[in-house]
């Protein structure tokens, strides 16, 4: 709806799939990265997370996203993954540092404007964003000019 009605296409043309980024950066080695991720799996189990609605980052181009409650289970999963991955990054993304990280799924990025924001939010208001979602897999995504799914790993 956002791309057709409002021409908000940046995210859909650059993102592999809707997701919550837990940790990101420049990898020392893809093999070390995958090994670190796989070392988390014995400790991972499906969890249900709940949304608490839509959020907006006020920037030159506003960022619209789905906010997720940071439950104890989601926090434990994030801490585990971030701890295991800390030695595979040569450089980490600022947004995935513990101090600023928040669970969110971005809906619109870079091609939004404040003039259209009330219309976009009005249309999004018809959706029930206060519901749950089961997290039962990790998706490894590589970002070059756009995101590419490397692998999806289901929790056992």
pLDDT digits (tens, 9 = 90+) for 6-43: 888 888 888 877 889 999 999 999 999 999 999 999 99
List the beta strands (DSSP E) in the chain.
Answer: 25-27, 47-57, 63-68, 89-92, 104-108, 132-135, 137-143, 147-154
Number of H helices, E strands in the chain: 5, 8
Strand ranges of the sheet holding 132-135, from the earlier edge strand across to the other edge: 104-108, 63-68, 47-57, 132-135
Query: In this structure, are strands 104-108 and 25-27 parallel, antiparallel, or unpaired?
Result: unpaired
Domains of the chain (ranges, CATH numbers): 2-154 (3.90.1140.10)
Average pLDDT estimate for 63-83: 95
How sure is the predictor about 107, in pLDDT bands with cuts at 50, 70 and 90? Answer: very high
Alpha-carbon distance values, 120 to 8, 58, 59, 62, 116 (Å): 10, 15, 16, 11, 6
**pLDDT tens by residue, 42-57:** 999 999 999 999 999 9
**Whole-number pLDDT of residue 109:** 92
How sure is the predictor about 148, in pLDDT bands with cuts at 50, 70 and 90? Answer: confident
Phi then psi for residue 57, to 5 deg, are -90, 125
Q: What is the dihedral of CA 113, 93, 45, 156, to 10 degrees?
A: 110
């Amino acid at each position: 709806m956002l791309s057709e009605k409002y021409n908000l296409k940046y995210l859909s043309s650059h993102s592999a799939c809707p997701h919550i980024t837990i940790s990101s950066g420049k990898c020392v080695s893809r093999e070390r990265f995958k090994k670190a991720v796989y070392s988390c799996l014995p400790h991972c189990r499906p969890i249900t997370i709940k949304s608490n609605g839509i959020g907006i980052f006020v920037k030159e181009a506003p960022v619209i996203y789905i906010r997720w409650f940071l439950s104890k289970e989601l926090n434990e999963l994030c801490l585990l993954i971030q701890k295991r991955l800390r030695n595979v990054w040569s450089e980490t993304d600022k947004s995935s540092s513990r101090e600023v990280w928040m669970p969110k799924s971005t809906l619109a990025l870079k091609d939004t404007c404040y003039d259209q924001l009330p219309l976009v939010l009005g249309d999004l208001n018809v959706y029930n964003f206060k519901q749950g979602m089961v997290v039962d897999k990790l998706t490894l995504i590589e970002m070059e000019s756009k995101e590419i799914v490397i692998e999806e790993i289901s929790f056992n």
